[in-house]
Amino acid sequence: MLGPSVLVLATFFVAPLALAVRDSLTSWDLLSPPVYVGLANYARLVASGELAALVGRTLQFALVVVSLSMSLGLALALALNRPGRLVAFVRSAVFSAYVVSWVSVALLWMWLLDADQGVFAAGARALGLGRVGFLTDPGVARLTLAVVTVWKITGFSMVVFLVGLQDVPRDLLEAASLDGAGAWARFRHVTWPLLRPTAAFVGTTSLIASFQAFDVVRVMTQGGPVKATTLLVYAIYEQVFLDLRVGRASALTVVFFALLSGLSMLQLWLMRGRGGRA
Amino acid sequence: MELVLDAICKRFVGDGKARPPHDALTDVSIEIPKGEICVVVGPSGCGKSTTLRMVAGLDEPDRGDIRLAGESLRGAPPQARDVAMVFQGYALYPHMTARENLEFPLKMRAVPADERRRRVDEAAELLGLGRLLGRRPDQMSGGERQRVAMGRAIVRKPRLFLFDEPLSNLDAALRGDLRLELGLLVRRLGATAMYVTHDQVEAMTLADRVVVMRAGRVEQIGPPREIYERPRTSFVAGFLGHPRMNLLAAVAERGVVRAGPFAFDGAGARDGALEIGVRPEDVVIGDDGHPLVVRAAEPLGPETHLVLEGGGAVLRAKVPGFAGHLVGREVRASIDPARAHLFDPGAGGARL
């Protein structure tokens, strides 16, 4: 019975990971045969400070994406969890961003964010902020990409939260209001505790989505300016296809995997564990 | 009057084809004196739960007023009403222990912690919840959950208790036990209560006053005995009592009422069609009367319910003891005219 799933798991998960681990111990430019170098790739990444910088940037990006997309998704779900045609339209509109391809989204936002002709630049000028290089200022670009990512994936977290809200029994909220709880107390003491498993799911999926950010970087900034938007997955791509350093890229992949699984488990434990067997 | 419902009307807008707009409540007026238990009964969809939800503040009436201790509740949200409710599905917070569930209404009303503890312990003592306090709802049986739900209602010492079919999710034996317990508890607290149910046994046993509702209107209000002995309409007559009252089509002609094989003196009844109601216990099986065939018998132990047929009529009767052997036989039955109820045969079914 387990056969097929084990096979799938081995083909698409265990084998690639094992290959990455093997390649990370070599120096290989895709042209000449690989040479075993031990942990040299890892040592180099650590010693140069490149790894720390990459992980730092990626974590910062993920923090913004996860916290904003979760809170915005929850707020939208709470606001739109009611019948009505207009509400249904707004729900589909918000979700539609999630369905559109990453490249279209990135191109659309490049146009909106253009430092000279974009709508947002015009807004910034009108507010007296001067010329804001949303994609060209090293201090702003990463935040810009995070916000674009939030714009795209919030529809998904909203839909998942909406499903979670459907599972909160109406009579519990009614009982709470008779028990003297106002709207905020009902959310805090009834809705939120029952939404915890949903929140754990949304948090983990958006963490993974934010860690996997690639298209948005590739299309909008190519990792610049001054590496400000070179996130982990984009760095792996650069190492393989631009610098032809497969060993180094594989080492980054292994680190990426370890970091992401560690964070996901921590998050699931935090969200589920504290609420008992939620 | 502690609670007054004054000509409540409510129309549901409906949602397209599935539920067309309809009047859920029409001129519902109920008065409950302090310390009384008022049981509202009726078939499902009669508006009894809607009525209760309006007192709780979970629904707002379109017209009419609800007053608790003389003050109008119009526009007051549930949390501002001094009212506690026990729900059909218990509505216990699944992520809280029994103690936390009981504490919740006190916490929401900013009762200090030591006072909370004392009052929860008191309620737990009263309901025998001691060993359950550390458990979560999913670790309790249905009856235990129901007790915790009761406890959550009483810790607050509200002015008014509302019960929405609180026993209908329990199995029959437990329902009987808890019904008795609940009645004793509410009396002991001297509380005013409004209790909604479709179970006529709960209505008969718990109520100081019964309200029978049908299709959004009040059919009759009165003490259980009055409702049972002098039903104001044929609907009320058929709703209370088990087995149901026999309702037979009848004709009155020159002071004689004829229904199926029966004919008796109906002095005062005006000529024309009518409906007569006879409770199964008022069908007398004996040596005289009309011959009827026993089509079915349900021996219950202390009594047997019979289904009799003959002369174009089918009626139910009650006889003491086991009488299963009567099936297929012929018996003689008569009706005591003094115990027959006469109703208008129209839709209203008013008592004549």
> How far is residue B309's CA from residue B246's CA, in Å, rounded to a whole number?
12
Q: What confidence tier does A10 reach under pLDDT thresholds 50, 70, 90?
A: confident
Give residue-wise pLDDT tens across range B300-312: 989 999 999 988 8
Cβ atoms of A110 and A117 within 8 Å: the answer is no
Instruction: Determine whether the interchain pair B91/A83 forms a contact, defined as Cβ–Cβ distance below 8 Å.
Output: no
- Cβ neighbours of B83 in A, within 8 Å: 178
For residue A114, give the nearest of A142, A144, A138 by alpha carbon.
Answer: A144
Q: How far apart are CA B120 and CA B114, in angstroms?
A: 10
Question: Quick one: pLDDT at residue B17?
Answer: 64
Query: Can you tell me the ipTM of this complex?
Result: 0.85
Give the pLDDT of residue B18. Answer: 67
What's residue A269's pLDDT? 82
pLDDT (0 to 100) of residue A260: 87
* Tokens at B112, concatenated: 């200090």
Q: Is the pLDDT of residue B7 over 80?
A: yes
Direct distance between the N- and C-terminal alpha carbons of chain A, in angstroms, rounded to an integer? 29
- For residue A188, count other CB atoms closer than 10 A to its CB: 12
Q: What is the mean pLDDT of chain B?
A: 90
> Is any Cβ of chain B less than 8 angstroms from the Cβ of A39?
no
A138 lies in some domain = yes
Structural domain count of chain A: 1
Assigned domain for A21 exists: no
Q: What digits encode the pLDDT tens for the residues B141-158?
A: 988 999 999 999 999 889
Give the mean pLDDT of B320-344: 88
Q: Is B230 left (phi over 0), alpha (psi -120 to 50) or beta?
A: beta
Tens digit of each residue's pLDDT (9 = 90 or more) over B238-260: 898 888 999 988 888 888 888 88
Give the per-residue pLDDT at A251: 86
Q: Which has more confidence, A244 or B75?
A: B75
CB B262 within 8 A of CB B249: no
On whether residue A272 sits in a domain, the answer given is no
- CA B218 to CA A39: how far, in whole Å? 85
| Closest chain B residue to the Cα of A191, Cα to Cα | B93
Question: Would you call B299 helix, strand, or coil by DSSP?
Answer: strand
CB A189 to CB B152 under 8 A? no
- Tell which residue, B332, B333, B352, has the closest CA to residue B344: B352
Q: How confident is the model at residue B16 (pLDDT cuts 50, 70, 90)?
A: low
Between A and B, how many residue pairs show a Cβ–Cβ distance under 8 A? 67
Is there a contact between B327 and B297 (Cβ–Cβ < 8 Å)? yes
A124: in domain: yes
Does B269 have pLDDT greater than 90? no
Q: What is the pLDDT of residues A216-268, one digit of tens each?
A: 888 888 877 888 888 888 888 888 888 788 888 888 888 888 888 898 888 87
Query: Side by side, which strands form the sheet with B246-253?
Result: B262-265, B256-259, B246-253, B272-278, B341-343
Q: Where are the domains of chain B?
A: 3-239, 246-343
Percent of all residues in chain A with a pLDDT value above 70, rounded to a whole number: 97
Q: A156-211 pLDDT, tens per residue?
A: 999 999 999 998 999 999 999 999 999 999 999 999 999 988 998 899 889 888 88
**C-beta atoms of B85 and A193 within 8 A:** no
Closest CA to B154 of A176, A179, A183: A179
Alpha carbon distance B86, B160 (integer Å): 11
Distance, CA of B349 to CA of B274 (rounded, Å): 9
Q: Which amino acid is at A178?
A: L
User: How close does chain A come to B77, measured CA to CA in Å?
Assistant: 8
User: Region B290-298: what's the mean pLDDT?
Assistant: 91
Cβ-proximal residues to B193 (8 Å cutoff; 6+ apart), any chain: B36, B37, B38, B160, B161, B162, B163, B186
Please tell me the CATH superfamily of domain B246-343, with its number. Nucleic acid-binding proteins (2.40.50.140)
**A chain contacts of residue B15, beta-carbon cutoff 8 Å:** 83
A276 vs B: CB within 8 A: yes
Mutate to test the interface with B, among A170, A172, A177, A179 (most CBs of B within 10 A): A179
Could you tell me the pLDDT band of residue B72, with boundaries at 50, 70 and 90?
Answer: very high
> How much is the pLDDT for A175?
94
- Looking at residue A127, its pLDDT comes to 83
Chain A residues with CB under 8 Å of B105 CB are 178-180
Predicted local confidence at residue B325, as pLDDT: 87
Tell me the residue range of the domain where A206 lies.
56-245
Run of H or E residues at B221: strand B217-222
| CATH code: domain of residue A108 | 1.10.3720.10
**CB-CB under 8 Å, A275 with B95:** yes
User: Which residues does chain B have within 8 Å of residue A170's beta carbon, measured at their own beta carbons?
Assistant: none
Looking at per-residue confidence, does B119 or A233 come out higher? B119
Domain B3-239 -> CATH class: alpha beta
Using only the alpha carbons of chain A, give its radius of gyration. Answer: 22
Which of A178, A184, A271 is the best mutation test for B, with the most CBs of B within 10 A? Answer: A178
Question: Nearest residue of A to residue B138 by CA position?
Answer: A277
* pLDDT, position A275: 47
Sheet holding B160-164, edge to edge: B83-86, B160-164, B192-197, B37-41, B209-214, B217-222
Give B3's strand partners: B32, B68
**Given this model, what pLDDT does residue A63 score?**
93
Confidence of residue B3 (pLDDT cuts 50, 70, 90): very high
pLDDT of residue A242: 82
Residue of chain B whose Cα is closest to the Cα of A195: B95
Which residue in A has a C-alpha nearest to residue B58's C-alpha?
Answer: A174
How far B91 CA lies from chain A's nearest CA (Å)?
5
pLDDT of residue B84: 93
What's the count of helices (H) and strands (E) in chain A, helices before strands? 14, 2
Global pTM value: 0.82
| Paired tokens of B2 | 């502690």
Q: What is the mean pLDDT of residues A89-98?
A: 88
Q: Which of A83, A171, A185 sits opposite B87 (nearest CB)?
A: A171
Tell which residue, B28, B139, B128, B124, has the closest CA to residue B94. Answer: B139
- Residue of higher predicted confidence among B202 and A216: B202
What angle, rounded to 10 degrees, do the helices at A40-47 and A246-268 form? Answer: 70
> Using CA atoms, how far apart are residues A19 and A7, in angstroms rounded to an integer?
16
User: For residue A269, which amino acid is it?
Assistant: W
**Which of the 8 DSSP states describes residue B323?**
-
- Please name the residue of chain B whose CA is at the shortest distance from the CA of residue A176: B105
Q: How confident is the model at residue A277 (pLDDT cuts 50, 70, 90)?
A: very low
Paired residues of B218 in beta bridges: B213
- B103 CB contacts (<8 Å, ≥6 apart)? B116, B120, B155
Residue of A nearest to B53 (CA): A174
Residue A229 CA neighbour count, 13 Å, CB half = 30
Using pLDDT thresholds of 50, 70 and 90, give the confidence band for residue A20: confident
Asked if B85 contacts B162 with a C-beta cutoff of 8 angstroms, the reply is yes
Q: What is the rounded CA–CA span in Å between residue B270 and residue B253?
A: 8
